[in-house]
Structure 1
Amino acid sequence: MVNKHKYVTFSKNVFIPVTNICRNRCYYCGFRRDIRDEDAFLLNFDEVEEILRRGKEKGCSEALFTFGEYPEAVEGFSEMLEEEGYESFIKYVRDLCELALDIGMLPHTNPGSISFEELKVLREVNASMGLMLESTAKLKAHEKSPGKDPQIRIGTIEDAGRLKIPFTTGILVGIGEGREDRRRSLEVVRDLYEKYRHIQEVIIQNFVPKRETKMENYRALPMDELVETVRLAREILPNEIAIQIPSNLVPLEMIPEMIRCGANDLGGISPITPDHINPESKWPSEEDLRGILGDSFLLRERLPIYPAFICERKDGLKKNGGWYSERVSNLIERYADDDGFKREG
């Protein structure tokens, strides 16, 4: 399968891990902490502002907000939140997104499985949002993770479609699912896209074992299986959906092969923040990516919202197709060029 897209894209972001408190206990996760752990945290506004301002200075356009799912369900978290003057975590995240917009960064929030009303609140201050489906299979790795029930996650992705939120999803490959599970997961994503047209990209993420987790001794996904899954995704998904491989989780020299098999996005990279979910895996630089792609593929920087959602052409005019709120529209239109990519300079 040949990549038929004109460009290979990436975004430049800051990664903001709002809290590592989470109601789920996924067996492969090294990010989550118990409330009593010394390194459990909730970032405050000053800490987030410092990250955002550094990112703005380095030319980043995306503020990636990631955090544990429904931390309020964990006893003791509400007290942490109250110390910051809040009773609602979603309101806290909303105000952090407002801060990002004020500084000149476009939020992309990964909120976990949340309600329709909570998605609606966050939609107003986000350029795009995301939730990994991970798998439609019920897996042992998720047996202590109520938010990883496949039907709950499918429901959240569908709610995002009903709200016209440009959305990122994906599958996690190598956590106990089989090849047919991967196919079914991709078919579910395809069907949701065909109903709502809101899915902008699908991440094909390879499992990498983490120390001090229940799955630390599991094998990492072999690269040939990742290549096979990328090829399968391109076969199943409409061409309008980008296929992303996380550029810090695969060997740099494998990226051209992934692209030839159908991948056309390399995800977010950050000049100032690590991947807090996979801290052992450093981001490549933009120069690294350009070097490995050479003259074979054209690399373009995008915003967290994909070009197709930014403008609709009608009578030569740019029109918001209802995919984002007025609160974020000025910033999107300031940063987007005529093709909907990140404006140069």
Structure 2
Amino acid sequence: MKQKNIDAILDHSLMGYDISPAEGAVLLTQTDPEAIAAIRTTANQLRHMQAGDTVTYVINRNINFTNICEQHCSFCAFRRDDGDTDAYWLDWAQILEKAADGVRRGATEICMQGGLNPEAKVNGKSLPYYLKLVATIKQEFPQLHLHAFSPQEVQFIARLDGLEYAEVIMALRDAGVNSMPGTAAEVLDDAVRRVLCPEKIDTNTWLEIVSTAHKLGLHTTSTMLSGHIETPEQQMTHLEKLRSLQKTAVNQEYPAKITEFILLPFVGQEAPKSLRRRVGRDQPVLSDALLLGAVARIFLGNWIPNHQPSWVKLGLDCATEALVWGCNDIGGTLMEEHITTMAGAVGGTCMEVETLQTAIASLGRPYQQRDTLYKFFTQDSGLRTQHSI
């Protein structure tokens, strides 16, 4: 497509209009350096308009409580069968110690997800086990924001216990879960999902569970696993479903909505061989990830203003570069990360606050700690207070 047509799409977005999925696909298929530079510049301008210049980060700790999983996703190097030599399942004392470690290191959030372990039950039921996970942390550290249990985990609990999704979400919310990770989305196109994760929930189920969480007052994040077998058109289908989901939450005045979009480029170094051969590379293509992140900002930014790269998957240098391609948040400290690291990612498993701050400052941009729901933490008369971003 000629540069003037690309410019028309970009100008339309800068005027505040939503671009169409077809226009997004046009942007994603550009190879001309001048066109790509224009897309980057536009994404950066929109970031400035929609989220400001301050780059945020969160001090959080991951707890992946088990890698025992009944499913066999083609991209996953994390899952193990019960009995495998490197299978693990944390006990309550280990869960509590990891939470305590996070608090000692300044964490305001615990992000907790795990494999789908059919044996994870209390008195023969799945939901009480997950409620005990929550209680183990919340009884000792009620101040922590618990960002826990993906839509896939909600469906897993509901299926095992014969419950409605809403029943599971309400029980987790009332026990102390504060928000839901928008993971297990991969690509919201069932043709892709049949290859990547045939045992996982389908697109409509993922959307239903996330929308139900919004109705019941649980904010969620949103993600995309990119750079494997999906086409630009399928990437835009995914983004359109997220935008539509957010529009519904806003227009229907649900008490919660999507707080951020996180791009998760595929890491294939330790992935199962069939998908690894099909993709043909071990690490993400950084230029592709940056372009997709820019188009995501252009497409979603009117509705989801917070965009975050994955330093675990991209490395900190590329994640920092993403801050001039439309991202306004550098993510969290994590402190411990297993899922991506076991896939062969080279970004590391823990990031010190000072390292994140130095990376942000290298761009000449201010930085600020936030909480999970994107409120600032500031010092005021010696007290830490929160202000909405």
Give the TM-score, by structure 1 length: 0.80
> Per the alignment, do residues 180 and 336 of structure 1 end up closer, same or farther by CA in structure 2, a change over 3 Å counting?
farther
Q: Is 1:117 the counterpart of 2:167 in the alignment? A: yes
Is the alpha carbon distance of 1:60 and 1:86 closer, same or farther for their aligned partners in structure 2, counting shifts above 3 Å? farther
Aligned-pair Cα RMSD in Å: 2.4
Deviations 1:41-60 (A, max 9, x none): 32111110111111111111
CA contact (8 A) 1:28 1:141 kept: no
* Contact 1:8/1:266 (8 A) holds in 2: yes
- In percent, how many aligned pairs have the same letter? 22
Q: State the Cα deviation string for residues 293-326 of structure 1 (Å, max 9, x = none).
A: 2162222222223339x9xxxxxxxxxxxxxxxx
User: Structure 2 matches for 1:89-128, cutoff 5 A?
Assistant: 89-104=126-141, 105-113=144-152, 114=155, 115-124=165-174, 125-128=176-179
Deviation for aligned residue 1:175: 2.4
Does structure 2 retain, via aligned residues, the 8 Å contact 1:21–1:33? yes
Contact 2:68 2:87 in 1 (8 A): yes
Within-5 A mapping of 1:299-318:
299-307=367-375
Could you tell me which residue of structure 1 aligns to residue 341 of structure 2?
278
1:86 Cα deviation from its structure 2 partner: 4.1
What amino acid maps onto 2:111 in structure 1? L
Does the aligned pair in 2 maintain the 1:11–1:268 contact within 8 Å? Answer: yes
AA partner of residue 322 (structure 2): M
Number of matched pairs? 305
Q: Distance in 1 between matches of 2:294 and 2:285?
A: 15
Aligned to 2:356: 289
How far is the alpha carbon of 1:212 from its aligned partner? 5.5
CA distance in 1 between counterparts of 2:258 and 2:108 reads 20
2:80 aligns to what SS in structure 1?
coil
| Greater C-alpha radius of gyration | 2
- Determine which of 271, 287, 304 is the counterpart of 1:224: 287
CA displacement at 1:89 relative to structure 2:
2.8
| 1:1-345 aligned within 5 A | 1-2=43-44, 3-4=47-48, 5-6=51-52, 7-69=54-116, 71-72=117-118, 77=119, 81=120, 85-104=122-141, 105-113=144-152, 114=155, 115-124=165-174, 125-132=176-183, 133-137=185-189, 138-139=191-192, 142=195, 145-197=198-250, 198-211=257-270, 213-214=272-273, 215-217=275-277, 218-219=280-281, 220-239=283-302, 240-271=304-335, 273-279=336-342, 280=345, 281-282=347-348, 283-294=350-361, 296-307=364-375, 337-340=385-388
Match of 1:16, SS state, is strand
**Structure 1 residues 213 and 36: alpha-carbon distance in aligned structure 2, compared to 1, 3 A threshold:** same
For residues 305 and 86 of structure 1, what CA distance do their matches in structure 2 show? 35
Match of 2:318, as an amino acid?
M
Offset from partner CA, 1:81-116 (integer Å, 9 cap, x none): 45xx54333322222222222332221113342222
- In structure 2, stretches of 5+ residues that fail to align are 1-42, 156-164, 251-256, 378-382
